[in-house]
């Protein structure tokens, strides 16, 4: 799956995306994340990667100094734009996560929620370099994503020669799409990032570091 195919999938999924937050077994984890993530970004000028429908944007905007929320797809971002935010706190921008434009500005924090798992292994360094160019020294980076839990996660359908894993996702219209979805270990994340903390919940992981 290339980036264009992934983008098309999320355009089509926009209206039903937030149903993933309704899974009963994940509510304790999500309650912790909804409290923890905004705290870690409080008072910061945040660059949000792949904001999607704005679920996390609404939460961090309450405590952040400001948020520039980016995504490559218009359909989910249209839903994000329609949500309520503190006046003047959030700006939305179309952006390619692998080539974040200087016009976005410079930031002292970044959030990428459920984005890392969609990065092809061969493009991780490209994304990290792109992100770090938009961050000031000392910027706080917060990442979170899914752990693979067999009783709750969509099964892995296949792996490619590079080691990427894929799921078959079904939308409400019953169409099925092959979606790249990787589940990195803490060791794998540390091989790419200068992590200062990593926490595994039951269904999600959260990692953080400060840019030197």
Query: In which domain, by residue range, is 57 found?
Result: 3-148+185-210
Residues 6+ apart with CB under 8 A from 189: 116, 143, 195, 198, 207
Residue 158 in any domain: the answer is no
β-strand 204-210 against 156-159: which pairing, if any?
Answer: unpaired
Extract the residue ranges of the chain whose pLDDT is less than 70: 1-17, 171-172
- Given a contact cutoff of 8 angstroms between Cβ atoms, the answer to whether 67 and 61 are in contact is yes
Residue 140 in any domain: the answer is yes
Mean pLDDT score across all residues of the chain: 92
Q: Mind giving me the DSSP string for the chain?
A: --HHHHHHHHHHHGGGGGGGGG-GGGHHHHHHHHHHHHHHTTT-EEEEES-TTSHHHHHHTTTSSEEEEEES-HHHHHHHHTS---TT-EEEEE--TTS--GGG--EEEEEEES-GGGS-GGGHHHHHHHHHHTEEEEEEEEEEEEPP-TTTSPPEEEE-TTS-EEEEEE-TT--EEEEE-----HHHHHTTS--SEEEE-SSEEEEEEE--
pLDDT, tens digit (0-9, with 9 covering 90-100), for 26-85: 999 999 999 999 999 999 999 999 999 999 999 999 999 999 999 998 888 999 999 999
Residue 165 in any domain: the answer is no
pLDDT of residue 38: 98
pLDDT of residue 110: 99
Nearest by Cα to 176 from 188, 167, 184: 167
Residue 14 in any domain: the answer is yes
- Given a contact cutoff of 8 angstroms between Cβ atoms, the answer to whether 181 and 115 are in contact is no
Residue 26 in any domain: the answer is yes
- Given a contact cutoff of 8 angstroms between Cβ atoms, the answer to whether 212 and 154 are in contact is no
pLDDT of residue 175: 76
Query: For the purposes of burial, counting CB atoms within 10 Å of the CB of 116, is it exposed (0-12), middle (13-18) or buried (19 or more)?
Result: buried
pLDDT of residue 170: 78
Residue 162 in any domain: the answer is no
pLDDT of residue 11: 58
d(CA 49, CA 114): 9
Residue 168 in any domain: the answer is no
Q: How many domains does the chain have?
A: 1
pLDDT of residue 5: 65
Q: In this structure, what CATH number is given to the domain that contains residue 101?
A: 3.40.50.150
Residue 156 in any domain: the answer is no
């Amino acid at each position: 799956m290339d980036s264009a195919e992934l983008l098309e999938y999320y355009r089509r999924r926009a209206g039903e995306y937030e149903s993933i937050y309704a899974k009963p077994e994940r509510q304790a984890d999500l309650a912790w994340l909804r409290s923890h993530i905004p705290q870690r970004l409080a008072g910061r000028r945040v660059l949000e990667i792949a904001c999607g429908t704005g679920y996390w944007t609404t939460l961090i905007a309450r405590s952040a100094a400001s948020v520039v929320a980016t995504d490559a797809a218009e359909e989910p971002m249209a839903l994000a734009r329609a949500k309520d935010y503190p006046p003047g706190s959030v700006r939305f921008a179309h952006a390619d996560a692998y080539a974040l434009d200087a016009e976005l500005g410079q930031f002292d924090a970044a959030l990428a929620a459920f984005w890392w798992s969609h990065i092809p292994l061969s493009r991780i360094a490209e994304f990290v370099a792109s992100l770090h160019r938009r961050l000031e020294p000392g910027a706080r980076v917060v990442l979170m994503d899914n752990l693979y839990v067999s009783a709750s996660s969509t099964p892995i359908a296949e792996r490619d020669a590079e080691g990427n894993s894929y799921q078959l996702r079904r939308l409400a219209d019953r169409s099925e799409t092959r979606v790249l979805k990787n589940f990195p270990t803490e060791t794998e994340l540390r091989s790419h990032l200068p992590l200062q903390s990593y926490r595994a919940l039951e269904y999600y992981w959260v990692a953080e570091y400060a840019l030197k």
